[in-house]
Amino acid sequence: MSLQQALSRSWFGFDLDDTLHEFRRASANASTHIFEAIHSSNSQISIDTLRTTYQGILRNTTANAFADGRTSTEYRRERFGRLLQVHGLTGLNHFLGPGNPLLDRLLDLYRDSLRESLALKPGVLHLLQTLRRLGKKIIVITEGPADAQEWTVQELGIWRYIDVLVTTNEVGRSKVDGLFGVVLDRYGIYSDDIVYFGDNEVRDVQAAREQGILAVHYDEKRGSQLDDINALRVNSWDVVEKVLVRGE
């Protein structure tokens, strides 16, 4: 089966972060604003030191792929709170709940900085519009807090094109723990009637294929592979658009 044959299916599924939009870039920019704000209040702690500490915190706090039902604010408060704790910046009472002036300011700063940095991948908007015009159903299956991912698609201006948005947060399972199978059952989607695109070979492509879904790897760094059903890959959304519309 080729990509052209795959695109005849009724449902088009997408990962969100780093597939439809530049999440890593936006998150990195927002995090840098956090480090700069902390550094400005305590110049003895370098921005590089804060960044290194935060990367370690991220590895430890995102291991469950946001499947425990908390909100994005709760996750961020935990991460930023740990960052302040590590560097002894919690204040005399060590209180890190709502009402901590520094922590609340960091949360607002991160959200506002993230909003300013959000950007769709090239070709995404036009592709979604084309899919809508062709009568295709669009489902986004993503890992992350439900409130944050809903906020993201609204801020990106693509909410109107999405029929279903499902997150690990609302289902309680990560992609590698059976999320795709739950989604198919919940929304009555047959595995042979959906094609799914994602940037992560393990969490997107392999996990989807294990549930019988035809998955396509979105990889901007390698050439597209359009004819091998076991290794379908695209390096831009323009490639999908051309195959979808003109069969190229």
The DSSP-derived string for 100-130 is -HHHHHHHHHHHHHHHHH--BPTTHHHHHHH
Please answer whether residues 213 and 196 qualify as being in contact, where contact means their C-beta atoms are separated by less than 8 angstroms.
yes
Top-confidence residue, 88 or 187: 187
The 10s digit of each residue's pLDDT in 186-220 is 999 999 999 999 999 999 999 999 999 999 999 99
pTM of the model: 0.91
What's the CATH number of domain 3-22+119-246, 3.40.50.1000, 3.90.79.10, 3.30.470.20, 3.40.50.300?
3.40.50.1000
The 10s digit of each residue's pLDDT in 53-64 is 999 998 887 766
Model confidence at 96: pLDDT above 60: no
The 10s digit of each residue's pLDDT in 150-182 is 999 999 999 999 999 999 888 888 999 999 999
pLDDT class of 103 with cuts at 50, 70, 90: confident
The number of angstroms, rounded, from the C-alpha of 96 to the middle of its chain's C-alpha atoms is: 27
What is the percent of the chain where pLDDT is above 90? 69
Model confidence at 91: pLDDT above 70: no
pLDDT at 36: 93
Extents of the domains making up the chain: 3-22+119-246, 25-117
Instruction: Provide the greatest CA pair distance for the chain.
Output: 65
Of the given ranges (19-23, 207-211, 226-230), which has the lowest mean pLDDT? Answer: 226-230
Q: Which two tokens stand for residue 55?
A: 């990367």
State the average pLDDT for the chain: 90
pLDDT class of 248 with cuts at 50, 70, 90: low
pLDDT class of 92 with cuts at 50, 70, 90: very low
Which phi-psi region, left, alpha or beta, contains residue 98 (left: φ > 0; alpha: ψ -120 to 50)?
A: beta
Q: How many helices (H) and strands (E) does the chain have?
A: 11, 6
Cβ contacts of 54 within 8 Å, gap of 6 or more: 31, 34, 35, 79, 83
Please answer whether residues 21 and 156 qualify as being in contact, where contact means their C-beta atoms are separated by less than 8 angstroms.
yes
The 10s digit of each residue's pLDDT in 25-53 is 999 999 999 999 999 888 889 999 999 99
Task: Quote the CA–CA distance of 35 and 48 in Å, as a whole number.
Answer: 8
pLDDT at 55: 92
